[in-house]
Amino acid sequence: MDPGETDMEVSARIAAEAGELLLALRESYGPIDDQDVAHQLRKAADASSHELIAARMAAARPGDSVLSEEGADDLARLGADRVWIVDPLDGTWEYGLGRADFAVHIVLWTADGDAPGGGRLTAGTVDLPAQGLARCSHDATSPPRDLPTDRPVRIVASRTRPPAVLSAVVAELDAALRAEGHEHGVEIIDVGSVGAKVNEILSGRAEAYVHDTGFYEWDVAAPLAVAHAYGLTASHVDGSTIAFNRERPYVTDLLIGIPAFAERLRTAMLSAGSA
């Protein structure tokens, strides 16, 4: 334990170590063309990354609670002032396919009675090992950008569980933008991990991400902290604040995007949902 190490340094260091482990483990399996072997790799990766993160956290921040997708949920965290919310491998399916759109999520939730939802997210890291990139909530950022003019406006959605109304929403927004002179319109793209989806926005390859069929706090917390740090709009689809460290760590829906487009997407989603 380094007593001088900040929470952000702890978050980034441990996420990077977990990412290196995941890459090395996948490489050790060699080319995978058997689904049973891919399943074994995914299970081993989830478990190994969790064990590494839990051990590193216990050494670096022994008094803190940890909520991890792969760990037993100790509800003592509900009374804790500091809870690390961890996804040791987000985008497990993509990882097993040899793809690059998987991530390690680590973020600190700190109790704060004055904050919406009773706490704040800080020290967030989305590590994208196969992309050689990490996004952190302490990164220096540039001002939010405008809509692209040389390609379609892109909305990232789940490959298997996109919003039921999304096709209709895209058609509506596409028509509206083309009427305003945006010749490329709007399209939907598929990316794996929530962290990788948010990185598509931060990298300038997409403008928004929307999901309305639910997932867990560990899927969302670190990407949300990073999105806020980079000046993106990030909330429930209806605009309300997402609360963390809940007894049932479940998040019903999420909308993240550049401010120049997020509110238009929100309005269209709410209108389509009430129709």
Q: What is the mean pLDDT of each run of 10 residues along the chain (275 residues)?
A: 85 98 96 91 97 98 96 94 98 95 98 90 98 94 87 94 95 96 95 96 96 96 97 96 96 96 97 76
Q: Whole-model pTM?
A: 0.95
Cα separations (Å) of 182 from 120, 149, 151, 185, 236?
Answer: 38, 7, 9, 6, 27
- The pLDDT of residue 259 is 95
- The pLDDT of residue 144 is 79
Cα separations (Å) of 24 from 14, 98, 106, 255?
Answer: 15, 12, 20, 33
The domains found in the chain, sorted by start residue, are: 7-136 (3.30.540.10), 153-274 (3.40.190.80)
Q: Could you tell me which residues come within 8 angstroms of residue 119 by beta carbon, excluding any fewer than 6 positions away?
A: 109, 110, 111, 112, 243, 244, 245
- The pLDDT of residue 274 is 63
- The pLDDT of residue 113 is 86
Q: 177-216 b/e with 16+ CB inside 10 Å = b? A: beeeebebbbebeebbbbbbbbbbbbeeebbbbbbbeebe
Sign of torsion, CA 163 101 125 25?
Answer: positive
